[in-house]
Amino acid sequence: MLKDFRDFAMKGNVVDLAVAVIIGAAFGAIVTSLVADIIMPIVGAFGSLDFNNYFLALSKNVTATNLADAKKQGAVLAYGSFLTLTVNFIVVAFVLFMVIRMMNQLKHKEAAAPAEPPKPSAEVVLLTEIRDLLKKN
């Protein structure tokens, strides 16, 4: 049973999937930072807005002006966080689209380039020479 598990875990697809998940997590952290630290502050600068602190109080007890304090006071609808995550998703989807598009273009260029015909093996060359000699005689 242990041998079967080892064989399964060492198959190319499982290892490739593990690498993809790790790279995807690292890429997600980069995109999250891009959105939270670069894109959203630029968008917020146009209207002096900080989207992360946009919320709707669902309780009369909420009097705070920032989201962290408001959550402590009662129920809030944090639509600013949702907006930030939506922009994050759009950026991730766009970047992945561009990467896949670029990879597809590279594949099409490779497929469009004519491949060299494979050289015949030594046996085929030898048999061809024998055939030609037999024809000659």
The one-letter amino acid at 120: P
pTM of the model: 0.51
pLDDT of the residue at 131: 92
pLDDT at 125 over 80: yes
Q: How many other β-carbons are positioned within 10 Å of the β-carbon of residue 8?
A: 10
Residue 34 burial (C-beta neighbours within 10 Å; 0-12, 13-18, 19+) = middle
- Give tens-digit pLDDT for 84-94: 778 778 877 88
Rounded to 5°, the CA angle 33-39-43 comes to 145
- Give tens-digit pLDDT for 63-104: 888 888 888 898 988 888 888 778 778 877 887 788 789 888
pLDDT at 49 over 70: no
Per-residue pLDDT, averaged over 12-29, amounts to 81
| Domains of the chain from N-terminus onward | 2-136 (1.10.1200.120)
